[in-house]
Chains A and B, each alone.
Chain A
Amino acid sequence: MRTDLPLARDRAAVLVPVLVGIMVFLAVLAGAGALALDNVLDRWKRDVSGSLTAQVPPVPGIGEAARAATDDRVARAVAALRAQPGVAAVRALDRGELTALVEPWIGSGALLQDLPMPRLIDITLRPGAVDRVDPAAMAAALRAAVPEATLDEHRLWLARLMDLGEAIGGLALAVVLVVGAATAVAVVHATRAGLAVHRPVIEILHMIGAQDEYIARQFAGHALLQGLKGGLGGFMLAIPALAGVGLLADRIEGGLVPRVGLSPLDWAVLMLLPLGAAALAMLTARLTVLHTLARMP
């Protein structure tokens, strides 16, 4: 880019791409975290919002009698739940499934055979009826049938999880905003220094009939280039960092942590961060020049 001002050699401006790079790096990490979390919450929400779980504690004691009594409790609970409106299916998990669930913690063995385990009943709600189901009424019906049984309502903890997710998302947005503000401050500072350093040249340009707009354009163009350079650099550095985190998350087995991933759309959104930083740098430089020059005699 041809400029009348030797902006490329400004000491004060040399650090701008570095600063923008660091800022964009941080913003991309924060943004990627927020987007990945949003994806995870979205998946959980889809998975659990249509279902409830009832827990039936085992009847104390070891042996066939206790097991039969527990089976009876489960049967009563299943019957009571099936009678509830909005329920599509009720299925008690069999012993094999329950054993598989606890196996990762306790291990398989003889102990497991005799362990009094609470029985789980999976309740699937009819699609479309999810919002009309009254969990309190369902819990009451369940307790009437089996006083010891409890109903786990996923929606409550899901709502809390969503609140947490939103709070973290808000924090990420705050990080992006703070990073944007810091970028703007750095650009204002560098632009003011540039205006002071190049004052003699600016005076010549004014004497020749240059409008403030002409000078502002040169600073803005330069800031845009610097912003792009720094922003894309920061973005490039963030990619391996994110890939590393993704790899670590993938190594966790057993479905404890849902797969953390970013969709192409997420990447497109993240790509807006360096471009936005460059645009912000350009706009900030332009306004700083116009504002400063307007106060010149």
Chain B
Amino acid sequence: MTPAMRDDTDPWWDHDDPGVETVVRFDHVGLRYDLGPEVFRDITFALPTGSFHFLTGGSGAGKSSVLGLCYLALRPTRGAVTLFGHEVTRAPRSVLPRLRRRMGVVFQDFRLINHLSAMDNVALPLRVAGVGEGAIRRHVPELLAWVGLADHLDARPPTLSGGQKQRVAIARAVINRPDLLLADEPTGNVDDRIAMRLLHLFEELNKMGTTVLIATHNEQLVGRFPYPRLHLEDGRLTWHAPEAAPLAPPPAG
């Protein structure tokens, strides 16, 4: 049974498919910032290994907070978060680097390091993981070429357009072939054509085994891909079957 075959009335997270490991699992998770109101109070879902999900909802619905809980920038105020089979709700700081090295995150605001070149920005996850400079010089230009930035290896982020920055951010997120890719509005700054191209890039990565969760408010875009959708509204999370049939491969370019 794949997630795509389930519907709202079937709480699929209650069915632990044998053999299907979950990469991310939220059990009755609630979150509030300091003494403010709860952003959400009881969210439960699971992302099976190798799955591809969209996370939708209006602005302020808490999409970024869900992603923040996934990459452990935030800790739940109630409930439990499990990553790669480890309960991490109260995991000590010391284990975070190891977990984060298995993830790629595309931030809504890119979070590139402005004084580093595109090449060095993309190389960061490899350097942090202690990969040698030889391997970095082989792989990073290759990936930047793949996202169409072969001519911008030495460019610094302030000199790049929004779309180019986004692609550098995406390249940085996927350079170490993460087990989990989290992307926050990764198509927010690009036109439709590039948005489609970037999503196809995520699809490629997903085919190689990466679990993908993409937060977006672009319902139109979501409708063009055959993947299930987690929808956040009024602090509640609902699961929706894919609306689109699998698409033909996109036109090149």
Q: Do A and B bind each other?
A: yes
Interface residues of A (CB under 8 A from B): 4, 6, 9, 200-201, 203-211, 214, 294, 296-297
In whole angstroms, what is the CA distance A201 to B115 when docked? 10
Residue B1 interfacial (CB < 8 Å):
no
Q: How many A-B residue pairs have CB under 8 A?
A: 50
Q: Is the CB of A205 within 8 A of B93?
A: no
Among A9, A205, A296, point to the contact of B124 (Cβ < 8 A): A205
Q: Is the CB of B116 within 8 A of A210?
A: no
Question: How many B residues have CB within 8 A of the partner chain?
Answer: 25
Q: Is the CB of B100 within 8 A of A208?
A: yes
Q: Is the CB of A201 within 8 A of B93?
A: no
Assuming the contacts A205-B124, A206-B96, A207-B100, asked whether A4 and B113 have C-beta atoms less than 8 A apart, the reply is yes
CB distance from A220 to the nearest CB of B (A): 16
Q: Is the CB of B127 within 8 A of A4?
A: yes
CB distance from B215 to the nearest CB of A (A): 16
* Shortest Cβ-Cβ A-B pairs, 9 listed: A209-B101, A209-B100, A210-B128, A6-B115, A211-B97, A209-B97, A204-B111, A208-B125, A208-B124
In whole angstroms, what is the CA distance A205 to B93 when docked? 14
Residue B129 interfacial (CB < 8 Å):
yes
In whole angstroms, what is the CA distance A201 to B112 when docked? 8
List A contacts of B73 (CB < 8 A): 207
List B contacts of A297 (CB < 8 A): 75
A204's closest neighbor in chain B, by CB? B111
List A contacts of B120 (CB < 8 A): 4
Q: Is the CB of A4 within 8 A of B116?
A: yes
List B contacts of A4 (CB < 8 A): 113, 116, 120, 124, 127
Q: Is the CB of B124 within 8 A of A207?
A: no
Q: Is the CB of A209 within 8 A of B115?
A: no
CB distance from B96 to the nearest CB of A (A): 7
A-B contact pairs, 20 of them (CB 8 A): A4-B113, A9-B115, A200-B111, A203-B111, A204-B111, A206-B96, A206-B97, A207-B105, A208-B100, A208-B101, A208-B172, A209-B96, A209-B99, A209-B100, A209-B101, A209-B125, A211-B128, A294-B93, A296-B93, A297-B75
B115's closest neighbor in chain A, by CB? A6
